[in-house]
Amino acid sequence: MSLTADQIVDRRSLRRKLSVWRVVAFLALALLVVGGAAVVAGVNGFAGVTPPQIARVTISGFISEDRDQLEMLDKITEARGVKGVIVSIDSTGGSTAGGEALYEALRRMAKEKPVVASMETVGASAAYMTAIAADHVIARRTTITGSIGVIFQIPQVGGLLDKLGVDIEEVKSSPLKAAPSMFEPASPEALAVINSVVRDSYDWFVDIVAERRDLDRADALTLADGRIYTGRQALDARLIDEIGGEETAIDWLVSKGVKRSLPVKDWEPANDDAGFLSADLAVLWIARQLGLGPAVTHGGLVDRIVAERLKLDGLMSVWQGPASGSDGPAEGALR
């Protein structure tokens, strides 16, 4: 059947309208996906419209200075809807700078809203440093905590290289540059420098323990001999405030005026995957719909595969349990 000119014009007009509506529907779906991602992620990026809640922040594994994590903590501090914060800790520690950064971020937060730390299996060294930034510290009876002290370790591989017939030639600007070295025994001068760094870091750790736990410095110094404590021992030593878990933490928040009926919402750093509806995956899905290929960039797949500990260089505050063995720090460490 042949079409008249008017019918051809009408059909073309209809096709154009359908194309417009397809674009509108696609954009609406894209906004829905991104909006769902924001809801799943706890509306982290929209602090001003965060619904009333208690925020739960999890500190686990090896502690390092994580910019995304610190930005998240600042967003929680600014979020008017967050009425109280539970810092859930299960970590043997990590880099000293990482523990210090968390400590300072949580102290800023505690000036704006009540913050309680709840330590689970382990809350030692840099993790304990993090916990005492809270206004109230809770642990289980059997939680391993403490490990307040400093240690610097460096492996010596010179003997192995000698057996392999490998010589190391070194030219440096001064004797203390890059000292001590894993290729030769440390000189007395190098050990003196390391000792001064260790003592300075240790003094700061002891000072904040004394300040935050309301202890005489002499008492804090006695407790800070590197040993670990159970939760019950830590309570007797005044290193924590109470025995319990998250329900105990909520009870404390309620005593500070937080409503018990408020939901507890998990907050995660922006870069973390939050499942299918994460913001990263939403953007990736939209890009694919537009025919754009994803790129592997800094902070992407490669960074997530490489172990965080392999990218560190500096002092660490870590408790090394007997079972950790070779998993311990290879360079300067605090504990």
* Catalytic residue annotation: 125, 177
**DSSP states of 151-163 as a string?**
EE-----HHHHHH
DSSP H helices, 272-333, are 279-289, 301-305
Q: Which residue has the tokens 């408790």?
A: 319
Contact (Cβ atoms closer than 8 angstroms) between residue 319 and residue 122: yes
| E strand or H helix that includes residue 147 | none
Contact (Cβ atoms closer than 8 angstroms) between residue 105 and residue 75: no
Contact (Cβ atoms closer than 8 angstroms) between residue 286 and residue 30: yes
Q: How far is CA 152 from CA 127, 175, 191, 213, 223, in A?
A: 18, 19, 10, 26, 20
Residue 23 corresponds to which tokens in the numbers above?
């674009």
